[in-house]
Chain A
Amino acid sequence: MLYTVNRHLERKAKLHQVMHHPYFGFFVLGFLLLLVQIIRISGVNIPTTVLRGLGLTMIYIIIALGFSILLGYAGLASLGTAGFVGIGTYLIGYLTNAKGLSVSMILVIGFLGAIAIGTIVGFISLRIEGLYLGIITLGLSEILNEVFKNATAITNGTNGLLMNRIVLFGQYYQFNSNTIFIAIVFILIFVMILTLNIMKSPTGRAMLAMRNSESAAQAMGVSVLKYRLLAFIIATVYAFLGGILYMTYIGFSIPTTWNLAFSLFVLAAVIVGGSQSILGVVLGTFMIFGLDLAVFQQIPLFQENPAITFILNGVLIVVVVMFYPGGLARLITNLKYKITSLSKKLMKKWKAFKYGEDD
């Protein structure tokens, strides 16, 4: 008897441990996304736009996670995201089409390139701060956009660059967007785990200290140079990765995609969700990009009036920034707290009613 009780408690404790493990949510999200593919394979007809919307949302989550480290942890607002993502897309597009390099090689090149560009922007950010930095990175993004438009030899100019196959282990593959979808799910889980580890590590805490007060952080021995560079490098690496995935998934990149609006949408996603939590970033990205791409485009009312999505998104951003400065993540934690306290209160009342008022 005692033995079984112990086993039961043990199992319960283990379940609790698994449920409250920080990675649990990531795997649940990954499983849910995989479930969509499983349902599709089992024969249910899911519209391609929904699948495409979900896949794109995942890619944008990766980009937004990098940005949340930059904004939420290092406190640097950049509007150059679009340019960096654009570089990622053209990098893989050009290298695959013209040079026939394999994906692993391109990833390495992209990683090194992202480090170089992140370092440059990081050095700029040492000089220029706050809103000025936002505008300067906006200028940088505009320069990159002009390059995408005019360097026709590499980017195919305003017609857009098409890439319909990738090289893997020295062989050409015509890729299937559903296979890429599954790959993106695993990459997303990996990136989320990586981001959480960066956020909770001494690096993340040092960045947080720097964000709250630069002088205090410096006095405590945090090197502003090092962590600013690091924050920009992380954000740029994530943006490049996002770009490479985008090109692999969609197979087409055009300069008009990588404009100011894209950078602003990423910024909006991070702010609306809550810049310091992964859950928030996921929710925010889904709100800003996902709802429009995967859900609204299925509803006839929104199909006929695309303007309504704009208004909804705009109102959402304004309301969240004005009334919920912590973003949706804070809102959810508050709600959770309120529900648990309410249920506890009700439980107490129920017990008092059942057993009499003795405790």
Chain B
Amino acid sequence: MFNETKFWNTFIIIIASLVVVYALLDIIVLRKLPKRSKNQNILINILLGLGLLSIMILLIKSLGMFLFLQTILDKVLSISVLALATTGIVLIFKTSMTTNFAQGSMATFGAFVAARYIIYLTSTTTLTEIQKVFLAIIASSIVAFLLGILIDVFIIRKAKYVTSIGKQMITMGLVLVISGIIPIIFGVLPLTIPRLSYEIVPLTIFGQSLTIPRHSIYAFYITMIVLVVLFTALRFTKWGLGVRATASNETVAKMMGVNTRIITAMSWAIAGALGGIASVLAAPLGGQVTTGLMVSYQVNGFMASILGGFSSFGGPLVGAILIPLLQGLLSYFAFLWQNAIVYLIILLIVLAKPLGLFGKKIAKKV
């Protein structure tokens, strides 16, 4: 179906030529990073765009249209889950200036509650599968919402004067605490969460007959609704304005009458709720609900946010779409190595653009 060696040769040539061109530019033209002119930035953007485009074209050409589209459809679920997780991470980074390692744990806690809630619903009521899972999603997001508020009120708010690395350590301590509490509360018996639907839907795009699980379609809808509501809220409500003000400068925001405490607490809560939804959607993929359920999504979420740049909300979403997609597409050529290759590509991109694809440089006074 496709010629693997030819693909690899072309792939390596593209990457290597890009790296060489960039390195030459970097050494000769752009040596000092903070002082790039507008034209130089455009040059780098064009270079990156060309690189991504050529990789995509190469992938489509060597995989064929059918496999390409089918992989995209297979990855819809991962993209949805990762988009939710990444948005949570970025939201907390904006308001609390720290990378939240507990994002995955908060979400996992929600998933455990959801699994227990499904068992409870099964024994007491006669709801259909999809209703039960839907209720479980709501339960999970509410629990994670409350957990987020608790964490902020009792810990992060008290640690206002801790450095951002210190805050990172606190979230890491929280990971340990939560993953210790989970077996005590929920026991060690294996818990499972069923899919929203086990049906597989045939689909025709560009004359190719493809299939997609209905669970992915539902996940995509839920993610779209949640994210659209969230982004609208960020854009048009007073809370969103407060978040943006807090993100740009907490002290000044406070002086201007923004209640940064409530803003931060709500950000933690909403990040938790996003994680709660994501974890219930992701849980059926791995079979059982375990404490390590969200670890890979969390690492990918960090990589996505760094790829897109923490300074905007849209950038990390692009990262969250690109990462699973590239992983899925590359797995045809280098099974097992796809993660390493994707991370390597991200590393190279971030080296060229340290603030991410869509990051903006914020001038800092020293």
Contacts and interface: CB of A to CB of B under 8 A. Distances in A.
B337 A127 contact: no
A310 interface: yes
Contacts of A271: 165-166, 169
B99 A135 contact: yes
B54 interface: no
Interface in A326-351: none
Contacts of B336: 146, 149-150
Given A131-B98, A260-B299, A325 B166 contact: yes
Interface in A131-154: 131-132, 134-136, 138-140, 142-143, 146-147, 149-150
Interface of B is mostly: helix
Contacts of B351: 124, 127-128
- Of the four ranges (under 10, 10 to 19, 20 to 34, 35 or more), the interface on chain A belongs to 35 or more
Contact of A314 (B162, B174, B183, B295): B174
Nearest to B335: A150
Interface string A304-322: 0101111101111110011
B303 interface: yes
A250 to B, nearest CB: 23
A22 interface: no
A51 interface: no
Interface string B240-279: 0000000000000000000000000000000000000000
A324 to B, nearest CB: 11
B354 A318 contact: no
Contacts of A106: none
Contact of B180 (A128, A136, A311, A322): A311
Interface stretch (B2-10, B74-82, B206-214, B339-347): B339-347
Given A135-B306, A215-B366, A318-B174, A264 B101 contact: yes
Interface string B132-170: 000000000000000000000001001100101111111
A314 B164 contact: no
B173 interface: yes
A149 B296 CA distance: 15
A58 interface: no
A239 interface: no
A188 to B, nearest CB: 25
A223 interface: no
B340 A317 contact: no
A91 B234 CA distance: 50
A311 B177 CA distance: 4
A307 B175 CA distance: 12
B311 to A, nearest CB: 11
B16 interface: no
B19 interface: no
A310 B180 contact: yes
A239 to B, nearest CB: 19
Nearest to B156: A322
Nearest to A259: B295
B130 interface: no
Contact of B162 (A131, A214, A264, A325): A325
A264 B104 CA distance: 15
A114 interface: no
Given A150-B337, A316-B173, A322-B155, A139 B168 contact: no
Contact of A322 (B33, B101, B170, B183): B170
B181 interface: yes
A87 interface: no
A268 B165 contact: no
Contacts of A254: none
A44 to B, nearest CB: 34
A17 to B, nearest CB: 38
Nearest to B306: A135
B358 interface: no
Contacts of A214: 366
B224 interface: no
A267 interface: yes
A318 B177 contact: yes
Contacts of A213: 366
B128 to A, nearest CB: 35
A96 to B, nearest CB: 26
Nearest to B366: A215
A129 B351 CA distance: 11
Interface in A232-268: 260, 264, 267-268
Interface in B285-328: 295, 299, 302-303, 305-306, 310
Nearest to A316: B173
A142 B295 CA distance: 12
A135 B101 CA distance: 11
Given A77-B165, A142-B299, A264 B172 contact: yes
B166 A321 contact: yes
Interface of A: 71, 77, 124, 127-132, 134-136, 138-140, 142-143, 146-147, 149-150, 213-215, 260, 264, 267-268, 271, 305, 307-311, 313-318, 321-322, 325
22 contacts: A128-B350, A131-B93, A135-B99, A139-B306, A143-B344, A143-B347, A146-B337, A146-B340, A150-B337, A150-B340, A214-B366, A260-B295, A260-B299, A268-B173, A305-B184, A314-B176, A317-B172, A317-B176, A318-B170, A318-B174, A321-B167, A321-B173
Interface of B: 33, 93, 98-99, 101, 155, 158-159, 162, 164-170, 172-184, 295, 299, 302-303, 305-306, 310, 336-337, 339-340, 343-344, 346-347, 350-351, 354-355, 366
Ordered nearest first, which 9 A-B pairs have the shortest CB separation?
A314-B176, A310-B180, A317-B173, A314-B177, A311-B180, A146-B340, A318-B173, A307-B180, A314-B173
